């Protein structure tokens, strides 16, 4: 399992990857509310989803500086 979590300005964003029978399930949450959930059979898609999450997180924190 892979988890990335960012807390900024009182909001928590979490990205979780778990391995299941059908592939890898990704979940993106904001304040415990699921905003995206998908299952991928290709690890490269999981890597891409993780990169997108990290990019969005970085843009949000950079915008507040």
The SS3 call for residue 44 is helix
The predicted model scores a pTM of 0.77
For residues 64 and 9, the answer to whether their CB atoms sit within 8 Å is yes
Question: Percent helix, strand, coil in the chain (nearest 5)?
Answer: 30, 50, 15
CA-to-CA distance for 32 and 29, rounded, in angstroms?
6
Report the domain count for the chain.
1
21 lies in which domain range? Answer: 2-63
Please list the pLDDT of the chain residue by residue as tens digits (65 residues). Answer: 888 888 878 889 899 999 988 999 999 999 989 999 999 999 999 999 989 988 887 777 676 54
């Amino acid at each position: 399992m892979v988890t990335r979590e960012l807390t900024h300005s009182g909001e928590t964003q979490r990205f979780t990857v778990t391995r299941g029978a059908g592939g890898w399930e990704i979940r993106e949450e904001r304040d415990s509310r699921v905003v995206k959930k998908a299952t991928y059979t290709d690890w490269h898609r999981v890597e891409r989803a993780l990169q997108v999450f990290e990019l969005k997180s970085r843009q949000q924190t950079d915008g507040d500086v």
